[in-house]
Structure 1
């Protein structure tokens, strides 16, 4: 059986270019690295380094085994990390329910950090309306729900507002709204509005967010953006989703008469009261609270 310490000494020596540099990197003496590599050569029955020069140089066999050794070391690291996670009771999976009104960008950075800190935990994102997500939360099919604040949260749920989401009115560059300093209410109500189904059916924001007499419904806000860019209608969308497209000129912000400043609504993170949260869930909550 291959000794992993010997293998580590071999790979590190090949990476660093000398036994002394490998020893400094690992925290062992040069002689320990040299002995480890020699023992590995004896175990394998091949010469891994040509030692005739000032610095050891990989032989043809050494070059071939070096690539395989790196793969084996990565696999060993994965096994060690996985067993460490098992000991620490790290969750195998975590399910996050995301209402279509909540921009995915709010969880992009936390997800990236989780992927690095807990590489063996599977993350699933469920994107649907809040009512369905709360049903799944109650049935333990979802661990967290992110949604726009609406009715009072039941006592058997914990929640925290993690973000104030600003909203902006936008149209295509070809829209007549694009050149107006303020779009009056009469014009606003007669031109087609693109609305996300979740907003249209929202208990609190539905009536506030629906302003036009002519409405087209889209499944999510990414679809809304594409329809507005095509000049199909105008929309009210989270500002955080628009910055790049406004800078590129595919969307134009405008100010409606009914409001002279950006509107904002809270985004709540919700989870079940007394749920036993594992390390990944705690870490996600911490990231969202501080983000």
Structure 2
């Protein structure tokens, strides 16, 4: 077996014969002589040391080895086609990868819709998502690890970053129905908030380390994951602020209830979200798509 002498053309001919059902049909599809197609497949079989087709019948049938190796051949061809497409796009100035730093409060439904549109427009560009909170989003953009970021839990836009205003996310105070604060009618006094464990998102960045936003209690439990905070809230282990779109089903089902605090309006706090990016970052077609798509958002509510 001399696998290093295999050619992509041989693999394409092999796949075409399998798809067409005969050497003659494959020759027509490839606009080649039937003898050239037969020679390419025979040479490939000799190099691999196995028969890819059973030729004992009127039409060639894939052998057991041929069925297995056809999957490998298609995978190789797909990877080569992707390589060619990505290289061509990069030569024209298109990015090969987009890295986005997103705040944990950014609605997942909106993100899914954006990613669907992006994949349709740039199928060859890979996407790296980093979900962060507080200053970690801005830090990823400032240090160049992320091409753009979406701030939510950080109330300020760091200097030297360009920004695009996005729709707001409604932030509400919630607790389990069994929680002591859920028994309070009307606005909860600050002294009662301070007596209960508050579940707070922690900051993994140096940008805003040791800074607290909307923290009312010294009895705070801190975590970097919004899903963990959500689970602890439903378990009655504390109270905290959550994006309304994340807890909407829990509120409707009674697994959580809203609580009113002096820091937030009765209906909740409209939290501004911002798209941020560095002014010195080269804006290629893929990044330009994201900036345009985000700028056109008027609401995070499902259409």
- TM normalised by structure 1 equals 0.71
Distance in 1 between residues matched to 2:174 and 2:36, nearest whole Å: 66
Shift of 1:97: 3.4
Shift of 1:242: 2.1
Contact 2:103 2:132 in 1 (8 A): yes
Contact 1:22 1:33 in 2 (8 A): no
1:45/1:71 CA distance change after superposition, 3 Å? same
RMSD (Å), alpha carbons: 4.2
1:191/1:20 CA distance change after superposition, 3 Å? farther
Contact 2:137 2:151 in 1 (8 A): no
Q: What's 1:267 paired with?
A: 273
Q: What's 1:184 paired with?
A: 187
Q: What's 1:44 paired with?
A: 44
Name the SS of the counterpart of 2:165 in structure 1: strand
1:268/1:18 CA distance change after superposition, 3 Å? farther
Distance in 2 between residues matched to 1:165 and 1:17, nearest whole Å: 57
Name the SS of the counterpart of 2:271 in structure 1: strand
Name the SS of the counterpart of 2:73 in structure 1: helix
Shift of 1:160: 0.8
Distance in 2 between residues matched to 1:32 and 1:268, nearest whole Å: 57
1:15/1:170 CA distance change after superposition, 3 Å? farther
**Which of the residues 277, 280, 285 maps onto 2:283?**
277
Distance in 1 between residues matched to 2:11 and 2:223, nearest whole Å: 56
Contact 1:19 1:30 in 2 (8 A): no
**Which of the residues 72, 89, 93 maps onto 2:93?**
89
Contact 2:133 2:202 in 1 (8 A): no
Contact 1:49 1:57 in 2 (8 A): yes
Shift of 1:161: 1.7
Distance in 1 between residues matched to 2:90 and 2:53, nearest whole Å: 38
Distance in 2 between residues matched to 1:67 and 1:136, nearest whole Å: 40
* Alignment gaps of 5+ in structure 1: none
Distance in 2 between residues matched to 1:216 and 1:61, nearest whole Å: 59
Q: What's 2:247 paired with?
A: 242
Distance in 1 between residues matched to 2:33 and 2:266, nearest whole Å: 71
Distance in 2 between residues matched to 1:169 and 1:151, nearest whole Å: 21
Distance in 2 between residues matched to 1:223 and 1:50, nearest whole Å: 58
Shift of 1:269: 0.6
Contact 1:107 1:288 in 2 (8 A): no
1:49/1:93 CA distance change after superposition, 3 Å? closer
Shift of 1:264: 1.5
Pairing of 1:25-64 with structure 2 (within 5 A): 29=29, 32=32, 37-45=37-45, 48-50=52-54, 55-64=59-68
Shift of 1:151: 4.1
Distance in 1 between residues matched to 2:202 and 2:257, nearest whole Å: 22
Contact 1:161 1:268 in 2 (8 A): yes
Q: What's 1:4 paired with?
A: 8
Name the SS of the counterpart of 2:167 in structure 1: strand
Shift of 1:237: 0.3
1:36/1:89 CA distance change after superposition, 3 Å? farther
The count of residues paired between Structure 1 and Structure 2 equals 279
